Structure 1
Amino acid sequence: LDRIIRRYALAGSRQDLLACAGLLQLAPSREHQQTLIKGFETAFAGRSLANLPDALIAAIKAAGGGSITLQLRQGLPEATRTALQTISTPTADKAQRLAFIRIFGEVTNPAAVPVLQQVVSKDKNEQLRRAALLSMQSYTDAGIGKRVITLHNTLPGPLRESAQSLLVSRRDWATQFLAAIDSGTIDKQAVPVEIQRKLLLHNNKDINNLVRKHFGQVSGATTQQMQKRIEELNDMLVTAKGAGNPYSGKVLYRQTCGKCHTLFTEGGKIGPDLTGFKRDDIRGILMNVINPSAEIRKGFENYTVLTESGRIVTGFIADQDNQVVVLRGVD
């Protein structure tokens, strides 16, 4: 049942959605209905449920209404109020708060903006703050950029990276970001080359001029420069003869590589799993660290998308159908 309703839900046409309603109506028991609703929710992850056919909404309600997550995706007022209250409560369940924060990045609601901003500015949990910054990328409010700029210099390193990713994701925010750099409010030395490159993706004359003014000609390192760096690090490791601190290394891994890669079940799911990687091949590791684009596994090609709302999104294609393309990336 789960797979059947997912197939119809992913197709997404009105007839397919009415077929989902029919499946719910024909389900012989509440248990079967809940299985169908769970499959439907899985299929619609990352997609708005605001325009479902009335027959499907009625079928979902008759089947118990689904979880609060599904109700929130439908835009039901009571579910929205509950979700915003939960996000605003520091003592509430962290996993539930995180789920709601992410949903407000998928199904936008202007009422969520001040709540998400509050999480970024005051919450003590870094994961929730990062998620809130990511979700706010889905909104177009110019005030978001201004607020994030005021917080920028107070944020710790990893959160500052997320804040910069938000600021360069839309043209208006990117302009505000560069104006802050131009005025000295934000130190240009705190802006990595990856963010500088993203600014150029807007293909805007004023933005390009400010990028050149503060960062010069933005380009990646040459092959010769990268090879030189690989040799330097290799010599350093040979000289060290295993004198490194693995505990400090683990912390560094979590802050950098672990954002995208999994190692022994720990880490992100964005890049390839490193568990089976030949970790005694020092030169191979160094090449992939210094020049990660040298070898790209099939399915992990990076794409850049400019949405109709003017947002720039980068990542690899995690899923797609005739209505939705899902990109997965750090930001």
Structure 2
Amino acid sequence: MRRFVAPAAFVLAFLVAVRAEPPIAHGSLKPLVHVLLTTDDAGVQRDVLQGMIEALQGRRLAAPENWSQVKDKLRDSAAPGVREKMLLLSVMFGDPEAAASLRKTAADPKEAEGGRRTALQTLVEAKAAGLPPLLRELLADRVMRGPALRALAAFSDPDTPALILKHYHEFTDAEKADAVATLASRPAYAAALLDAMGRGEVPTRDLSSFTARQLLSFNDKNLSEKLTKVWGSIRPTAGDKTKLLARYLTLTPPDALKKADRTHGRALFARTCAKCHTLFDDGGKIGPDLTGSQRINPEYVLTKVLDPSAVVAKDFQMMIFTLADGRVVNGLVKQETDKVVTVQTQNELVRLAKPDIESRKQSAQSMMPEGQLAPMTDVEVRDLISYLAGPDQAPLPK
């Protein structure tokens, strides 16, 4: 007899069909709970649980009828992922026992890194009580430091800025980017960040123009004046950009690009651009794929880099969300349902429950920050443009 399979996509489609009922009636979940109680097939259990997780993401509702029996059945499952997914759903249903279990997983260095990160993300999205102390502890854990820094943005805690700034000099470049993003998420945090810059504790180069724009979006006069004083104005004038373009074009004539080090250019791309853009087979998916663009023309590339907000395609226009607790989230809307907006920021994918959103505003600005070339030497600019304009992938640096 052919084994019954309930793929996650099927379960998700089923739940989407009933999610128009506000809130989801527990009777709608009854068939899925029944499947979990009657099947011993770990594959089916995983698919059903995953489908429920995806469809219920961002919703806050009580556990459906007989969920305690599902917990009892699956809590000791040895099948990979089954127990973990059951706990994730239980936290989404407001179960304090499940939340305590996930807190233990997130804090335990002996657990797998992926499981720890998933556990922490679930606790953050569920706004589990008493989470900031755990996040502060995880700043001392190298594996979990990045996720903890990002998660601290979700909680308004007066101790957060001082703690982050105290350890800032110990962070890697990626962790510093996460730290700055969190400190830019709330007006009080941003004030502490700018004060630290004024004292020389945080280099001004660590604040991108993208993040500076986020600080201006608070519409706080004192904060804006402090930003101008310690960091500078938000964007150069059109005349400044024209001069910069002319200067960079003198560095990148065809003969110079042929002699440039494209392998070094690839390393610069990985450090500066690859978080958001793909070129050939390398890079992220936040911004446009550069492989098929007019990158063979140095003037086109330099114009886009120097003034990324001159022309912004609709799919890449940034949205500014202000939440009820004062947090501001800037990014691209990747998905939206009747209950949740999924936003891609520069450093993470954030799911915002719609009841938590106080306002949203579309920006004409690109997520790509200006000033990307400013910290580079002339040789670095030449190598980067040579890599971008090349016909094929360059070898990896040795």
TM-score of the superposition, structure 1-length normalised?
A: 0.83
Shift of 1:142: 1.2
2:32 maps to which residue? 24
| CA shift in 2, pair 1:3/1:264, >3 Å | farther
User: Which residue of the other structure, out of 62, 66, 69, is the alignment partner of 1:52?
Assistant: 62
Shift of 1:42: 1.4
| 2-structure distance, mates of 1:56, 1:244 | 66
2:237 maps to which residue? 222
Higher helix proportion? 1
Residues 166-198 of structure 1 deviation map (CA, whole Å, 9 limit, x = unaligned)? 111112212222333344544445433333332
| 1-structure distance, mates of 2:19, 2:312 | 29
| Structure-to-structure mapping, 1:16-165, within 5 angstroms | 16-25=24-33, 27=35, 30=39, 34-45=46-57, 47-49=58-60, 51-52=61-62, 54-55=64-65, 57=67, 61=71, 64=74, 67=85, 68-123=87-142, 125=143, 128-165=144-181
| Structure-to-structure mapping, 1:206-217, within 5 angstroms | 206-216=222-232
- Structure 1, gaps ≥5 residues long: none
| CA shift in 2, pair 1:111/1:230, >3 Å | same
* Root-mean-square deviation (Å): 3.0
| CA shift in 2, pair 1:107/1:263, >3 Å | farther
Query: Which region of structure 1 is more displaced relative to structure 2, 25-34 or 296-305?
Result: 25-34
Residues 88-145 of structure 1 deviation map (CA, whole Å, 9 limit, x = unaligned)? 344432222222233233222344323333333441x4xx433222111111111112
| 2-structure distance, mates of 1:193, 1:33 | 47
Counterpart code for 1:314: N
| 1-structure distance, mates of 2:322, 2:264 | 39
| CA shift in 2, pair 1:59/1:90, >3 Å | closer
Instruction: Give the 3-state SS of the residue equivalent to 2:333 in structure 1.
Output: strand
- Structure 2, gaps ≥5 residues long: 1-9, 76-81, 348-398
Counterpart code for 1:232: R
Counterpart code for 1:319: Q
User: Which residue of the other structure, out of 285, 289, 297, is the alignment partner of 1:281?
Assistant: 297
| 2-structure distance, mates of 1:83, 1:250 | 40
| 2-structure distance, mates of 1:183, 1:9 | 55
Counterpart code for 2:169: N
Counterpart code for 1:224: G
Counterpart code for 2:28: C
Shift of 1:58: 5.2
| 2-structure distance, mates of 1:56, 1:314 | 40
| 2-structure distance, mates of 1:113, 1:182 | 27
Shift of 1:207: 1.9
1:180 aligns to 2:196 (yes or no): yes
Counterpart code for 1:4: A
Counterpart code for 1:135: A
Q: Is the CA contact (8 Å cut-off) linking 2:333 and 2:343 kept in structure 1?
A: yes
Instruction: Give the 3-state SS of the residue equivalent to 2:316 in structure 1.
Output: coil
Shift of 1:314: 0.4
1:319 aligns to 2:356 (yes or no): no
Shift of 1:150: 1.1
| 2-structure distance, mates of 1:9, 1:131 | 33
Instruction: Give the 3-state SS of the residue equivalent to 1:211 in structure 2.
Output: helix
Query: Which region of structure 1 is more displaced relative to structure 2, 189-198 or 314-323?
Result: 189-198
Which protein has the larger Cα radius of gyration, Structure 1 or Structure 2?
2
2:182 maps to which residue? 166
1:303 aligns to 2:338 (yes or no): no
Structure with greater contact order relative to length (CA < 8 Å, sep ≥ 6): 2
| 2-structure distance, mates of 1:294, 1:56 | 56
Counterpart code for 2:139: V
Q: Is the CA contact (8 Å cut-off) linking 2:29 and 2:64 kept in structure 1?
A: no
Query: Which region of structure 1 is more displaced relative to structure 2, 277-286 or 133-142?
Result: 277-286
Counterpart code for 1:36: V
| CA shift in 2, pair 1:225/1:155, >3 Å | same
2:276 maps to which residue? 260
Shift of 1:57: 4.2
- Identity of matched residues, %: 23
Q: Is the CA contact (8 Å cut-off) linking 1:262 and 1:275 kept in structure 2?
A: yes
TM-score of the superposition, structure 2-length normalised?
A: 0.71
Residues 26-71 of structure 1 deviation map (CA, whole Å, 9 limit, x = unaligned)? 64952556533321111234x154x235438458648847613323
Shift of 1:213: 3.3
Q: Is the CA contact (8 Å cut-off) linking 2:26 and 2:64 kept in structure 1?
A: no
Instruction: Give the 3-state SS of the residue equivalent to 2:161 in structure 1.
Output: helix
| 2-structure distance, mates of 1:140, 1:64 | 35
| 2-structure distance, mates of 1:120, 1:276 | 41
